[in-house]
Structure 1
Amino acid sequence: MGTAAERQTEWARLVIDSFVRAGVDDAVISPGSRSTPFVIAALRHEGLRCTSALDERSGAHYALGQARSTLRPSLLLCTSGSAAANYFPAVIEASEAGVPLIVLSADRPPELHNCGANQTTDQVGLYGKHVRLFANLGEPREDARSLRAARRFVSQAVSEATGVKPGPVHINAQLRKPLEPVAAGDELRERVDSVLAEPLTQVHRARPLTPTLVEHVPALVVHAIVDALDAASRPVILCGPADLRNAMFVDALTELSERAAAPILAEMASQFRCWSQTRAFGAFDTIWRTDAGRAGLTPDFVLQLGAAPISKGWEELSAGTRIRRIVVHPWEWADPTSDAEAIVQADIGSLLSALGRAELKLERRDVEFAARFARAESIVWETADQVLAEPGDALTEAGAVRAVFDALPNPSALVLGNSLPIRDVETWAPPSEKLLVVHSQRGVSGIDGVVSAAAGVASCVEGPTTLVIGDVSFLHDLNGLQLAADVEGPLVLVVINNGGGRIFEQLPIAHDGDESWLPFFTTPHDADLASAAAIHGCEHRGARTIAELRRALEEAYAGRGCTVVEAIVPPKSALEQGLELRNRVQQALARKAP
């Protein structure tokens, strides 16, 4: 019916169109020849927004950012050889964080394998157990059954990527020259059109995956949590990192907290700490990192919502005291300490809605516990304000974080880099009624690809996006500026430049080892970040004082596109001010005896 080149062209058209019909809106394309049939099909499709990423590693993290913002997978397109291997860090992050992602890798045909052919390697099962599904598309064929099978592969790929445990999938496609599109004859094109006109297979699950839907939570699960709350004297609701769906249930969480007399302790990435009318406490990490805080404010039951908290204070508290705890997460066994009483695998919002209808008994409550926690919360933020005020206009790491937080537009998206930035925000940024959707890369907590991921988030939101990132992480992903430069924005990349990876100065290696070892951990540098920003035409503004930083942020938010705001701070300011804060809070709590 058609030549091999015609079949390949139509096959690619069918696959790309099927992805669009399955709900894929974005394709991130990296350059290469072998993927030409799919790239041209993607560029020709009016329903697909295509982004060019010169570096596959950056492109994959950009797609991750898009998926975190939309909860839908983006399609990654690359050529054969090492190209798909550069997706690996993002694939691992997607797998561990439960973020949907689809890799469509072009490959050489079977006759070019195992014979020394150029740009050829075994791509079958490249990502191992880190993908939810791997499939080889097979030879392009023109019979209706084979065309339907190709569409089924697509439907399965999107279904698995957005399944009960979302994550990455990998489809590998072996392509032959000629790779350029060839106009097919009427008969072949009409056959493909006929198959495309058929409805794409839908997947219906007992657990709905659409974010706006509320799933059924069994009464047995609700009763177990209610019984634990009823038996507790000092319950708390501890909220770890979670995706943006949580923001829709702030009111439900607030109602549960009030009815159960259980304080909400929310990390920034939980989506519960910064939202209209939030009642969350945010100083618990600092409180529990003091002896007085642990002694006076230890709960006897914890309802953990979301992933394991980042909080070191919680880590220290739970290491020294066995606390009854039930963990709620849509799919993950989020219990790294292996001491949870129960794991509830349910949508967090759905569970909160179900608990809101349950009858709770408060006879066993310590009626002063929540009030004592509120007093301690106030002490921490008052003390933090004092510590922040003492350097005056001189810029410190803590001062930079607070200034950025104060300047964040309302509403907006906030992306937090790993290592110190996400911890600095926990320590120095209080709960707020600003409407902030907060994204973090906590699957494997890497410092790679964070600039690219922030650009991906910004590409899918209306209004401003802010990234708070460390200097080493920023340097690790300079290629991400290529993608950031094309975002309409405003996209504001705030780089806390403390001259290296200063989190290692807060770890035992800093004082238990040879002093000459430390630079291999902190990786000090003299990089010119203004020149780095200029490579891709991003604006750059430097700041060494609070006033300069505020002015730089104001100008960046008033503009368009990407601006790198470099906050230059003393190397040890995070360590020194963090210690000072905890020492003062310890003294204040000991005096108040909460």
Structure 2
Amino acid sequence: MNPSTALATVLVDELVASGLTDAVLAPGSRNAPLALALHAADAAGRLRLHVRIDERTAGFLALGLARGSGRPVVVVTTSGTAVANLHPAVLEAAHGGVPLIVLSADRPPWLRDVGANQTVDQRGLFGPALRWFHEFPVSQRRSGQQAHWRSMIGRAWAAASGAAAVPGPVHLNLPLAEPLLPDADPDWPEPLVGRGGPWTTAVATAAADGPAVPAPEPGERVLFLADLTHPWTALVADAGHLVVTEAGGAAGRAVLGTGMHLLAAPAFLDRARPDRVIVLGRPTLFRSVQALLADPRVTVDVVAHPAGYADPAGHVRAVAPGLPDLTEQPDQQWAARWRDADAAAGKAVSDVLDGLELTSSTRLARELVGLLADRATLVLGSSQPPRDVALATRARGGVRVVANRGVAGIDGTVSTAIGVALAAGAGPTVALLGDLTFLHDLTGLVVGPDEPRPDLTIVVSNNDGGAIFGTLESGRPDHADAFERVFGTPHAVDLGAAVTALGHRHTQVRTRDELARALDNPGGIRVVEVRTTRTDLPQTLSRLSEAVRAAV
């Protein structure tokens, strides 16, 4: 057996022993030993292999699988620009705390700096985004090497899983010398399979709930503020505490579904300002949230790992990974003021949205979340969809929200959604994306005939461009001459033709009833297109804001 084949065999064996269930492969020449080792493991039922022709798509598919399962997922590439195409996914994993292991093939060191084909310095490619990096030595035909190989897999697994810090991306670089394909000789100086390291247990038992932030004082005016996807949101709300969340009503029946509206109502906030805000995760969507967290009259504590929390204002008092004791309830008169305001604001929002058609992306978000089945997973793209969900949805339970909010890019969202769906449990997976986000990762729909296929519905709010820019400073009248071309960015793409060409089902819906029927049509990947408008979005958001302020 040649050394490159031996190295790849041991690495895949140790990854499986550590707990790997899914691996994503972007094929190439230099990574052939890894490709064959993964194929053999898949054929033996030891892991599930996913093959993609586009490395950026492969990276975000792995990210989605890791987000959906909570376990590290490996993405394997060949050398050169193939590795660089993983950078957006690596950045999202770094900022979003997602356990991702990059396994990149490389030329051996003697081919660097001499102009060899497809050879770049891959050792510092991802910079400070990594939790850990290691480059393996070039393997040789001798015994005694696999202890090091397996040990490095164990270290990588622990670092990606967050055993000592926040989960995130790890990069293992493998210089592979030719020959790269197996030869006729199966012999190696020592056995290559069957040794599982002790690291899996150590990772699994790493304390996730460690020290906690200070518990609420009796009668203290404490408001919990949760990010879009925090898993403890409903738990805190069900315990009787006030919770406002970037996921709006999609986060649970007991949350304040109009919380983002209330934070943007100055007169109400002046009357009902909290003494203290306990932040769950990393909320970044709304400026009103950042204003509250920067308010010197409010004490701010954060439930997060001290190595991975957000504090742009430099105002956070305490950070800890564990929830505080939830026994003490907030000031009841003050809490009733918030709940009464939430009820009034909810009616005001409904009154506005009831007068709109499904051509409004905000109305679409409300109807979609309301129609989701129990135990559904909702994957949200960036830009306007998560904001629409936060501002429009009625409080309900049974929905898990997933999104790439680490660096909040539109990259790879289709691939992320496919990964989440492949890793999901019994409930359905539905993604809500804007048209630009969808088109940005259209290659994510290229799924080979032998690859695992998810049950995934992708709902595309198609307004032929970037609606969110009309709500920002770029949408002011003084930029009108340039707006449509450089911000609105119309594309005029026939989404149905593109989806059909890539081998998937497409349907266009215009009403709530049609949307309901489309969601109740499972099987494979299907794209549900809703033609929405973008020119009226600023007016819709302004009407919602005015209605809430008048109501509270």
TM-score (norm 1): 0.86
Matches within 5 A, 1:108-507: 108-163=107-162, 164-186=165-187, 188=189, 191-193=190-192, 196-202=193-199, 215-217=209-211, 221=212, 225-226=214-215, 229-230=217-218, 232=220, 234-242=221-229, 244=231, 246=232, 250-251=234-235, 254-255=238-239, 258=240, 262-268=241-247, 274-275=251-252, 278-318=253-293, 322-330=297-305, 331-344=307-320, 346-347=321-322, 351-352=323-324, 355-356=325-326, 360=328, 366-391=331-356, 393=357, 395-433=359-397, 435-461=398-424, 462-483=426-447, 488-507=453-472
**Deviation of 1:322 (Å):** 3.1
CA RMSD of aligned residues (A): 2.4
Relative to 1, partners in 2 of residues 1:491 and 1:63: Cα closer, same or farther, differing over 3 Å?
Answer: same
**Separation (CA, whole Å) in 2 of partners of 1:154 and 1:268:** 36
Q: Does 1:13 align with 2:9?
A: yes
> Aligned to 1:166, what secondary structure does the other structure show?
coil
Q: Distance in 2 between matches of 1:144 and 1:77?
A: 26
Distance 2:363 2:517 in 1: 16
1:26 aligns with 2:41: no
> CA–CA distance in 1 between the matches of 2:70 and 2:358?
41
Any idea what SS the aligned residue of 1:368 has? helix
**Shift in alpha-carbon separation, 1:333–1:313, aligned structure 2, 3 A:** same
Q: Deviations over 1:496-516 (max 9, x none)?
A: 112211111111222174322
Deviations 1:474-512 (A, max 9, x none): 111101112499664431111111221111111122217
- Aligned CA distance change for structure 1 residues 497 and 484 (closer, same or farther; 3 Å): farther
SS at match of 2:514: helix
Deviates more, 1:577-586 or 1:330-339: 330-339
Name the structure 1 match of 2:495: 529
The answer on whether the counterparts of 2:293 and 2:315 sit within 8 Å (CA) in structure 1 is no
Kindly state the Cα deviation for residue 293 of structure 1 after the two structures are TM-superposed. Answer: 2.4
**What per-residue deviation string (whole Å, max 9, x for no partner) do you get for residues 516-557 of structure 1?**
2323122122111112212311111112x324xx32442343
Note the residue ranges of structure 2 that are not aligned, 5 or more in a row. Answer: none
CA 1:366–1:161: 2 relative to 1, 3 Å: closer
Match of 1:565 in 2: 528
Which shifted more, 452-461 or 502-511?
A: 502-511
1:60 is matched with: 59
Q: 1:367 to 1:407 in 2, by over 3 A?
A: closer
Q: 1:95 to 1:300 in 2, by over 3 A?
A: same
Look up the SS of the partner of 1:479 in the other structure.
helix
Q: Which amino acid aligns with 1:153?
A: M
Structure 1 segments unaligned to the other structure (5+ residues):
590-594
Amino acid at match of 2:28: G
Is the Cα contact below 8 Å between 2:435 and 2:465 reproduced in 1?
A: yes
Equivalent residue, structure 2, for 1:35? 31
| Number of the residue aligned with 2:476 | 511
Q: From the superposition, tell whether residues 184 and 229 of structure 1 become closer, same or farther in structure 2 (CA, over 3 Å).
A: farther
CA 1:426–1:60: 2 relative to 1, 3 Å: same
* Closer/same/farther in 2, CA of residues 583 and 123 from structure 1, 3 Å limit: same
Contact persistence 1:403–1:546 (CA under 8 A): no
* Distance in structure 1 (CA, Å) of the matches to 2:454 and 2:22: 18
Could you tell me which amino acid in structure 2 is paired with residue 307 of structure 1? R
Q: Is the 8 A contact 2:67 2:98 kept in 1?
A: yes
Do the aligned partners of residues 371 and 474 (structure 1) sit closer, same or farther apart at CA in structure 2, a change above 3 Å counting? same
**Superposed displacement of residue 303, structure 1:** 1.3
Q: Distance in 1 between matches of 2:439 and 2:97?
A: 26
1:136/1:172 contact within 8 Å kept: yes
> Which AA in structure 2 matches 1:314?
V
For 1:78-125, what per-residue CA distance to the aligned partner results, in whole angstroms no more than 9, with x for missing partners? Answer: 111110000000001101111111111111122322222211111122
Quick one: distance in 1 between partners of 2:516 and 2:446?
A: 21
Query: TM-score, normalised to structure 2's length?
Result: 0.92
- Quickly say closer, same or farther: Cα 1:97–1:210, change in 2 above 3 A: farther
CA deviation profile, 1:279-323 (whole Å, cap 9, x unmatched)? 211211112222322222221211111113523332344456631
Residue 110 and residue 414 in structure 1: after superposition, are their counterparts in 2 closer, same or farther (change >3 A)? same
Q: 1:425 and 1:446, CA in 2 relative to 1: closer, same or farther beyond 3 A?
A: same
Q: Is residue 490–residue 557 contact of structure 1 (8 Å, CA) maintained in 2?
A: no
Q: How far is the alpha carbon of 1:562 from its aligned partner? A: 0.9
Does structure 2 retain, via aligned residues, the 8 Å contact 1:294–1:317?
no
Task: Report the 3-state secondary structure (helix = DSSP H, G, I; strand = E; otherwise coil) of the residue aligned with 2:364.
Answer: helix
Aligned to 1:494, the other structure's residue is in SS state: strand
